[in-house]
Amino acid sequence: MLPQADAALVDGQNRTRIFHGVNAVMKIFPWVPNVEVFTLDDSLAEEDWLRLADWGFTAVRLGTMWPGLEWERGVYNTTYLDVLEEIVNGLGKHGIFTLLDAHADLFNRNFCGEFAPDWAVATDGDFLPFPQPIAASIKRNASTGYPELDDCLSRPFFEYYFTHAVSYAYQGLYDNHNGTLDSFFKDNPYVLGYELLNEPWAGDIYADPELLEFGVAGRKNLAPMYEKINAAIRSVDDEHLVFYEDAVSNQGHAGFDAPPGGAAYANRSVYSYHIYCAPTDKSGDPTHVVECNLVDDYFENVKMADVTRLGGGGYLTEMGAMLESPAAADALNHLLDLCDANLQSFNYWQYKPYHDLTTASQPFDESFYYPNGTLQANKIKVLSRTYAYATAGVPRDMMFDAETGAFKFVWDSWGHTIGLPTSIYLNEAMWYPHGYSVTFIPRDGASYSSPTRNHLDIVPASTFPDSSTLTVVITPNDSQVLA
């Protein structure tokens, strides 16, 4: 067996993969992005696939929504699955993998959120009516019965997690949930994996306040549920990756002792985590960059320690949700530098608004586009950084200088055994408009070619032995070499 880096994601050809991607989560009906035609606010169509590939993105975390699949109890919408499959296959043909994300925020539209269909939600019972005790009442639409969206958005959405109704609903899910996407995507080569549940709440914190303590909700509620879902998935799909998250309420180390399925499935399990800047303004931009960076440092250290302890992979599946201000660029670059230092993949939140009713930012502010159609080009440039997305060997160090565009990558090469190149993405238009230079250490240890624009393939020299360390340095023709 070839050696692998800790927490590495390795493809079927033994290349270590690092993904840079985006989120695409449609939070209202029809629960899936528009695949027919490009739009500014809700599409994930062929024009989007081309743009994402051109910017160097190799993964999309796609909302796979329970109401879209099972709007009525026991009635499954195969058309919804067909549209998801069309998106997955379309992205895949452009080199972009899809993480199927069971997305949840606040559980249901009756609670100002999304996840469960109405039939799966109790709106009255042995709990205080929503939104108590956060507020006495909320205005509801006379036709739908849902809370008016303007009223929902009158306070930060995270506060609603502390309502009795939301806590009670999540506890019911943990006690009873067994559902999966069954076998529909089990043979799809473009599926990166399944995310079991986005940002799960701690559970019924009123019945059991201990759930708010570090690690307790993960141990008591999430781990048992994840075991059940993982067993159901593995009964039909033993190969795709399973992504699992800790409770969104937990600000410390995870309470899990092992990945879902235990050590036997560590090589097919990925600890999914989110890091968001704080404090921020209403557009998601940091109000104090140094403080934001310290928050990011803390959470990256905590999450990396959990990844190491649990085994398996790690992946920053949500971050960002910002405008393209200079402060936002500084904060994003700092977090992406942390990802590079830890050889971690990331997915930005999010590509387009997709009717995001549960965000700490504003839907268009967090997206790649302004409402008038103008690209948030500065944001895209930050995210479209140079990186080694497929390594024929073991990555050791990766560094990108956002001031100069210079890039350095160090890896133990196994190119002869694997028989494939190490592949690097670089955005020529944004970062290297005057061309670039490529050097290797040792100087004659490798050669490169550019099979297509924005891509380099590196192969070791015939005399360069496997397991030896290679370094590549890429610099804009008007820049200085990284030390």
pLDDT tens sequence across 246-283: 999 999 999 999 999 999 999 999 999 999 999 999 99
Q: What's the confidence (pLDDT) of residue 4?
A: 66
Residue 180 pLDDT more than 50?
A: yes
Interval 277-316: pLDDT, tens: 999 999 999 999 999 999 999 999 999 999 999 999 999 9
For 322-334, letters b (16+ CB in 10 Å) and e give bbbbebbbbbbbb
Here the tokens at position 133 are 């005790």
Which residue type is seen at 349? W
Q: Is 422 helix (H, G, I), strand (E, B) or coil?
A: strand
* DSSP letter, residue 32: S
Report the greatest alpha carbon distance in the chain.
Answer: 75
> What is the Cα 426 distance to its own chain's centre?
21
Do the bridges between strand 59-63 and strand 20-24 make them parallel or antiparallel, or are there none, so unpaired? Answer: parallel
User: What region does 457 belong to: left with phi over 0, alpha with psi -120 to 50, or beta?
Assistant: beta
Interval 111-140: pLDDT, tens: 999 999 999 998 888 899 999 999 999 999
What is the C-alpha to C-alpha distance for residues 58 and 274, in angstroms, rounded to an integer? 18
Do the bridges between strand 59-63 and strand 97-101 make them parallel or antiparallel, or are there none, so unpaired? Answer: parallel
Q: What's the confidence (pLDDT) of residue 123?
A: 82
Provide the sign of the torsion angle of the four alpha carbons 99, 102, 106, 109, taken in this order.
positive
Catalytic annotation on 300? no
Helices (H), ranges, 311-421: 326-341, 377-383, 415-418
Place of tokens 């549209």: 83
Burial (0-12, 13-18, 19+ Cβ within 10 Å), 146: middle
Instruction: Check: CB of residue 411 under 8 Å from CB of residue 393.
Output: yes
Interval 354-401: pLDDT, tens: 999 998 888 899 999 999 999 999 999 999 999 999 999 999 999 999
Catalytically annotated residue among 114, 195, 199, 366: 199
Instruction: Check: CB of residue 307 under 8 Å from CB of residue 345.
Output: no
* DSSP letter, residue 125: S
- Of the candidates 21, 88, 90, the one whose C-alpha atom is nearest the C-alpha of residue 56 is 21
CA atoms within 13 A of residue 299's CA, in its CB half-sphere? 23
- Of the candidates 299, 381, 418, 351, the one whose C-alpha atom is nearest the C-alpha of residue 17 is 418
Q: What's the confidence (pLDDT) of residue 483?
A: 44
Which residue type is seen at 57? F
Task: List for the chain the helix, strand, coil content (%; round to 5).
Answer: 30, 25, 50
DSSP string, 467-478: TEEEEEEEEETT
Describe the strand order of the beta sheet including 468-476 as a list of residue ranges. Answer: 393-400, 407-413, 468-476, 436-441
Domain boundaries, the chain: 9-384, 395-476
Instruction: Check: CB of residue 14 under 8 Å from CB of residue 418.
Output: yes
**Model pTM?**
0.96
Q: Does domain 9-384 have CATH number 3.90.950.20?
A: no
Q: What's the confidence (pLDDT) of residue 1?
A: 46
Q: Which fold has domain 395-476?
A: Immunoglobulin-like (2.60.40)
Q: What's the confidence (pLDDT) of residue 125?
A: 85
Interval 78-110: pLDDT, tens: 999 999 999 999 999 999 999 999 999 999 999
> What is the Cα 366 distance to its own chain's centre?
15
Burial (0-12, 13-18, 19+ Cβ within 10 Å), 194: buried
Q: For residues 167-196, give the mean pLDDT.
A: 88
